[in-house]
């Protein structure tokens, strides 16, 4: 892979590529695993990674921005990954706040960003072939890359990693703001009525109104415009009223 300045490592199997790079504490490393036995997603949810079913990798970087801006890194990674997928021919690749890659409402991939001090590790998982059994077990629609484009997995990893590095360079220089508009243009839920379950169990409903300056999801509710920092997002019932 042609990624100047990046140490590229490939392994057949590991627990979690994110965990390995966090433990090593070294920036500018791309770690690719054919299979992850302890892959995880946001809030500790398990990420399923069967051999040959997709691509899973992590990229480490030293972040030269204030720590308060780190919350925007999953959005930065989303822009980079979606850019690459569109360039490869997945024209409808879109983003679901805060960390999903989707096509037509079905999940194509996910992003997990973890930090330790100034080190950030950006984990990416993309489904390459369909797994009907997994879709039934998760009870949610899943998309697979082969449904849209034929691409070698190594080429996919290189293109996504290169795009991640470009998005990170923009973030390092200028913060989230230059990338915010691009994220909003790829927002799968733009203008739609959403239901957000917050960490404390409360539920908000309202219309998606893009991102605020820190990367929070702006939600137009009956009581006004709210910025959501964390929560589980889904489309609201059409008859639901904003709360």
Phi, psi of 79 (to 5 degrees): -60, -45
> In the chain, what is the greatest distance between 2 CA atoms, to the nearest angstrom?
52
What pLDDT was estimated at residue 39?
A: 64
The dihedral formed by the CA atoms of 160, 55, 27 and 72, expressed in degrees to the nearest 10: 60
Lookup: tokens for 208:
């998606």
Coil/strand/helix, residue 207: strand
> Quick one: which H or E segment has residue 161?
helix 153-174
- pTM reported for the whole predicted model: 0.91
**Residue 45 has what pLDDT?**
60
Q: Is the pLDDT of residue 136 over 70?
A: no
Q: What pLDDT is stored for residue 240 in this prediction?
A: 47
Domains within the chain, CATH numbers bracketed: 7-185 (3.30.930.10), 193-235 (2.30.30.100)
Q: Which long-range contacts (CB under 8 A, 24 or more apart) does 98-103 make?
A: 98/42, 98/74, 98/215, 98/217, 99/41, 99/42, 99/74, 101/126, 102/143, 102/188, 103/143, 103/148
Which tens digits make up the pLDDT trace of 200-243?
999 999 999 999 999 999 999 999 999 999 999 999 975 545 55
The whole-number pLDDT of residue 139 equals 73
* Interval 94-124: pLDDT, tens: 999 999 999 998 999 999 999 999 999 999 9
SS3 213: coil
Q: Which residue has the tokens 């036995």?
A: 37
pLDDT tens readout for residues 137-158:
777 789 999 999 998 999 999 9
């Amino acid at each position: 892979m042609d990624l100047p300045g990046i140490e590229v490592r490939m392994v057949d199997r590991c627990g979690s590529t994110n965990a390995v790079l966090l433990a090593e504490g070294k920036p500018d490393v791309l770690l690719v695993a054919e299979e992850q036995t302890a892959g995880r997603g946001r809030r500790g949810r398990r990420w399923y990674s069967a051999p040959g079913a997709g691509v899973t990798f992590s990229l480490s970087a030293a972040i030269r921005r204030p720590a308060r801006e780190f919350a925007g890194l999953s959005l930065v990674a989303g822009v980079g990954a979606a850019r690459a997928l569109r360039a490869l021919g997945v024209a409808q690749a879109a983003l679901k706040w805060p960390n999903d890659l989707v096509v037509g409402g079905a999940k194509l991939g996910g992003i997990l960003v973890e930090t330790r001090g100034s080190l950030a590790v950006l984990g990416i998982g993309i489904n390459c072939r369909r797994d009907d059994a997994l879709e039934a077990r998760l009870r949610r629609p899943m998309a697979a890359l082969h449904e849209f484009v034929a691409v070698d997995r190594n080429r996919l990893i290189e293109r996504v990693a290169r795009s991640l590095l470009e998005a990170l360079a923009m973030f390092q220089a200028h913060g989230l703001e230059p990338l915010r508009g691009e994220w909003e243009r790829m927002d799968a839920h733009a203008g739609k009525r959403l239901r957000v379950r917050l960490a404390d169990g409360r539920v908000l409903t309202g219309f998606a109104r893009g991102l605020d300056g820190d990367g929070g999801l702006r939600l137009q509710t009956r009581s006004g415009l709210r910025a959501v920092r964390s929560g589980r997002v889904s489309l609201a019932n059409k008859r639901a009223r904003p709360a």
